[in-house]
Amino acid sequence: MFSSQQVYYSIIGIAIFSYLAALRLFRLPFLTFSSVNYFLAAVLAMIPGYSVANGTFLDRSLSRGFDSTVYLLFIAYTVTLTGASLIAQIVAKRYALLGKARPDPILRCWIVAAFVAIYAYAYFSWLPHVPLVNLISGRAGFGEAAAQRLEITHQLGDSDEHLPFVFRYWRTVLQYWAITICFMFAFYRQTRGTVPTIIYYLYVIGTAFLLAFTLEKALLVDFLFGMLVIPYLFAERIRLRSVILIAVGCALISMAAIAVFMGGTINELPEALLERFNGQTSSVYVQIEYVREHGFLGLRGIQMPFSSWFLGKDYFVDLGREAYATMFPNNANAGLLGSVAGLSLADLYFAFGWTGVPIFAGMIALYSWVDIVWRNGFVVANVGNDFRRINGAFYVLGMALFSLTYVSSVFMIIAIPLGLSAQGILILVLYLFFIRIGSLRIKRMIQRR
């Protein structure tokens, strides 16, 4: 008889091999939003899933042995994600999103860049702390800077009660919009010198600061990953050497971010990175106990920004914060509010039970279909250069910033397609500032023989 561990890793191996084989068999592109999400899901969720079900990554006091429901959740996640994503990509390969750019895209880039700069000045003038500046200047150590970070992100920066309305969506403007314009400048610099070199690099440095001032590593790593991907996005084929280069580059960037923001030594960096990967979904082991005690959450388990205006934030249950208090009791007792990541399918299970599996499959299929149709429109189809570069910038933005959509953010999986994400709406507003909405259409492509 096979052990549960052997069965689990056999399923994981077959799923990953099937995904790679299907990409080659059906001539699907490799460097896509779907594939980046899939392989991060493999590293952060599928592979460590068995250890999560065993409670391996948690403190011994929290471990209760093997959890069969968590085990089945990770198997269902692997099979559903692989099948839904591949089927949708195969269906979508014959279609493309076509359209036209608005006039003067470079001028529009400068307008947005100037707006971001003015907004940043106003926001930093209002903000009580800038953790990165305090850390670099020596006015705060790592511990104090980390406390300041939690104050401006969890206790102040993400709290509508303490934020002026104009700063309520500061992340989208200061970070997502800034990254998009930076990517757009990078694409235009590949073909014509419309962006002066000195100004370009000053903007890159400024964007990096906007992503790192809270001492959060993820956005900075995502941004640098996007900059690595840009030279390869329009390539018809990407070599294995390039894939390895991008993967190694991302690992080095991640370790550098850990060293700068957490004070790790060189010898500790690989272990810290591995621990970060392995612990991404470990909270599922803790979160499921809340559901067993209180029952499935229904809509209370999926907090949406607009619905909270009507129902109130107290209506929703944030299992990430509940798990944080259990996993890090010392921080919770000190009054620090935090949240931990989980697993997207597990979040749906906590809300709707096993009915969450077909919901998850449908959302993954939708994302993968849109992904390929959108990419075909600016990589494969014959469109104008401005349309190609603008869509390339927004596509890399999605590939980089939403690379964990399939892993741990059920909010993004459900909210963005339904138009319930404020961040998604503001990014769409920026997109329509560059693209004529009336020109957008989906067209079936003529297949080459």
| Structure tokens given for 257 | 């971010």
Given this model, what pLDDT does residue 178 score?
93
How confident is the prediction along the chain (449 residues), in pLDDT tens digits per residue?
678 999 999 999 999 999 999 999 998 988 899 998 999 899 889 999 999 999 887 777 778 889 999 999 999 999 999 999 999 999 999 999 999 999 999 999 999 999 999 999 998 888 877 777 777 777 776 667 666 666 666 555 445 556 777 887 888 888 899 999 999 999 888 766 677 788 888 999 999 888 888 777 778 888 888 888 888 887 766 666 666 666 666 666 665 655 555 555 555 555 555 666 666 788 899 899 988 998 988 878 777 655 666 666 677 787 887 887 788 777 766 666 667 778 899 989 998 999 999 999 999 999 999 999 999 988 876 778 899 999 999 999 988 888 878 887 666 666 665 556 777 888 889 999 999 999 999 998 765 54
What is the spatial distance between Cα 75 and Cα 72, in angstroms, rounded to a whole number? 5
Across-strand partners of 441?
98
Residue found under tokens 């741990």: 408
Cα separation, 424 vs 407, in Å, equals: 18
Residue spans of alpha helices (H) in 127-268:
131-137, 142-150, 170-171, 178-189, 197-212, 217-229, 240-262
Residue 261: CA count within 13 A, CB half-sphere: 26
Q: Which of 135, 137, 15, 130 is nearest to 78 (CA)?
A: 15
Residue pair 283/343 in contact by the 8 Å Cβ criterion: no
The DSSP 8-state label assigned to residue 196 in this structure reads: -
Are the CB atoms for 410 and 348 separated by under 8 Å? yes
Within 10 Å of residue 124's Cβ, how many Cβ atoms?
A: 13
Helices 217-229 and 197-212 cross at an angle (nearest 10°) of 150
Radius of gyration of the chain (CA): 22
For 193, phi and psi rounded to 5 degrees? -85, 60
Residue of 417, 373, 410 whose CA lies nearest to 395: 373
User: In the prediction, which pLDDT does 447 show?
Assistant: 58
pLDDT of residue 157: 47
How far are the Cα atoms of 149, 167, 178, 216 from residue 127, in angstroms, in the given order? 11, 10, 19, 16
Cα 404 to Cα 399: distance, rounded to the nearest angstrom: 9
Question: Residue 218: what pLDDT?
Answer: 76
The pLDDT value recorded for residue 70 is: 94
Q: Which two tokens stand for residue 391?
A: 């869509």
Nearest to 422 by CA among 281, 261, 329, 307: 307
Q: Is 424 left (phi over 0), alpha (psi -120 to 50) or beta?
A: alpha
pLDDT of residue 219: 81
Name the token pair of 440.
């957008």
- Report the alpha-carbon distance of residue 213 to residue 216 in Å, rounded: 8
Name every residue whose Cβ is closer than 8 Å to that of residue 311 and which is 6 or more positions away in sequence.
Answer: none
The single-letter DSSP state of residue 440 is -
In this prediction, residue 376 carries a pLDDT of: 92
pLDDT of residue 30: 85
Helix (H, G, I), strand (E, B) or coil at 161: coil
CA gap 41, 219 in Å, rounded? 18
Which residues on adjacent β-strands are paired with residue 96?
Answer: 443
pLDDT at 312: 64
For residues 388 and 380, what is the distance between their CA atoms, to the nearest angstrom?
10
First to last CA, the chain: 48
**Closest residue by Cα to residue 390 from 36, 197, 34, 112:** 112
